[in-house]
Structure 1
């Protein structure tokens, strides 16, 4: 399983960071470059524990669907979403929000594996990990900009 860990300091409260990270419109706005949209599940407002949402986006030039469930939530400090159905064999994304001087430490732990055995592990580590790291960084920067500009959900 491949693992990506990202961390950033956001000048906003944990509650604001948590709420924006679970807001479907903020997710769509922060992934505009992939044409992401909701196909099934809550299409607006805040996602909550137990919610299942199917996203469709253009990734690596191909339209893909990914269905995830919010499997854990401890507002406003933590939530986890996990794969229900999609192009990965496994996918787990943990989101942490810790109050620190000057704002909130936002940390992502993203674990995934492809369904292609040895070839998939090679692909995960040499290509997909880099692509997904850039994707997550861009999404986090868009959310950070929105929070620090005062335009939170």
Structure 2
């Protein structure tokens, strides 16, 4: 099984509590996901903040507009510091996404660490090189711009 990590950091011009309130609210995921991904939350009546054990179901269309079911569980939460979501159903053999924030001199440093394993063994390794890694970069580039608009400097 191939294993990869994708890391991204962003400085956000805001306070730790404002950034935490935004990122810990599952409903805001759609605002930071490119429209072409067809991201829709399927879990009804989500609370205002993520909690350990929370299960969230989505439909996404990452490739060729083919709808894919994605179910994640929030496995760890330390308020105003970090939370972790892990795929339970979806396209990857492994998906573990850490969302960290920390107050710094000029705002909040947000760090994302995505550890993942594509499906299909050898074909998954090729897909990572040709498609998956680039798609992650594209999605996180979009998120960077979205956070700049949501929290203008």
- With the shorter chain as reference, the TM-score category is 0.7 to 0.9
Retained in 2: the 8 A contact 1:56–1:64?
A: yes
Q: Deviations over 1:8-33 (max 9, x none)?
A: 10011122212211222321122251
**Mapped partners of 2:5, 2:89: distance in 1:** 19
C-alpha change, 1:91 and 1:103, in structure 2 (3 Å) is same
Alignment match of 1:129 (pick from 107, 112, 133):
133
Aligned to 1:46: 49
Aligned to 1:119: 123
When normalised by structure 2's length, the TM-score is 0.88
**Mapped partners of 1:21, 1:125: distance in 2:** 29
**Mapped partners of 2:41, 2:112: distance in 1:** 22
When normalised by structure 1's length, the TM-score is 0.88
Name whichever of 27-36 and 51-60 sits farther off.
27-36
Correspondence list, 1:1-150, <5 A: 1-31=3-33, 33=35, 34-40=37-43, 42-43=45-46, 45-61=48-64, 62-148=66-152
Cα shift at 1:145: 1.9
Q: CA RMSD in A?
A: 1.8
Q: How many residues are matched?
A: 149
**Mapped partners of 2:15, 2:68: distance in 1:** 34
Q: Which runs of 5+ in 1 are unaligned?
A: none
Cα shift at 1:40: 2.3
Match of 1:59, SS?
A: coil
Q: Deviations over 1:43-96 (max 9, x none)?
A: 462222211001112211211111001101111011110011111100010011
Name whichever of 45-54 and 34-43 sits farther off.
34-43
Name whichever of 79-88 and 38-47 sits farther off.
38-47
